[in-house]
Amino acid sequence: MSARGRQGVRLTDEETEELLRNRRKVQVATVGPGGEPHLTTLFYVLDKGRIAFWTYGSSQKIVNLRRDPRISCLVEDGDDYFELRGVSIRGRAVLVEDYDDVRALGAQVLAVMAGGVDTGELGEEIVAQQARKRVGVIVEPEHVASWDHRKMSAPPGRGA
């Protein structure tokens, strides 16, 4: 695909925000101890337009981010080639370790995981307990790439 073609499938800022707001899971890559990628999938929320999630403080991704804050994230959608769309974000991770801030982030993530269903007091209790073991991560973007293959012309018989 030519540079002009890549421009033609790029998401607008509004489309990027809509995709990030309406998806639930993000693929996250950190730099492992030997320089290899360490890849995981997590539930996330948007914090002032930035991807944010929480995870166990002892997890490999947090160990990696303490050593090297570089992070890459991928949010994607679509099953067929001409439906594929996504946002790839490369940046730096900011760790959130204050209990109240981690708890607030955890409550937002739980709401996403529950699909908007109110988890009530039980959910609050779970988040309060988990927040003691977890670290929040906010991704400060340095480079964002996006694509939407629905903007391409599909071969005859495939639809766009």
Q: Where are the domains of the chain?
A: 3-151
Structure tokens at 93: 């991770």
Q: What are 30's strand-pairing partners? A: 38, 71
Give the integer Cα–Cα distance in Å for 130 and 40. 19
Class of domain 3-151: mainly beta
Q: Alpha helix (H) ranges present in the chain? A: 3-9, 13-22, 60-67, 99-113, 120-130
Q: How confident is the model at residue 8 (pLDDT cuts 50, 70, 90)?
A: confident
pLDDT of residue 1: 45
Provide φ and ψ at 84, rounded to 5°: -60, 135
Cα 46 to chain centroid distance, Å, stands at 8
Whole-model pTM: value is 0.87
pLDDT exceeds 80 at position 3: no
Residue 116 binned pLDDT confidence (cut-offs 50, 70, 90)? confident
Q: Taking all residues of the chain, what is their mean pLDDT, rounded to a whole number?
A: 91
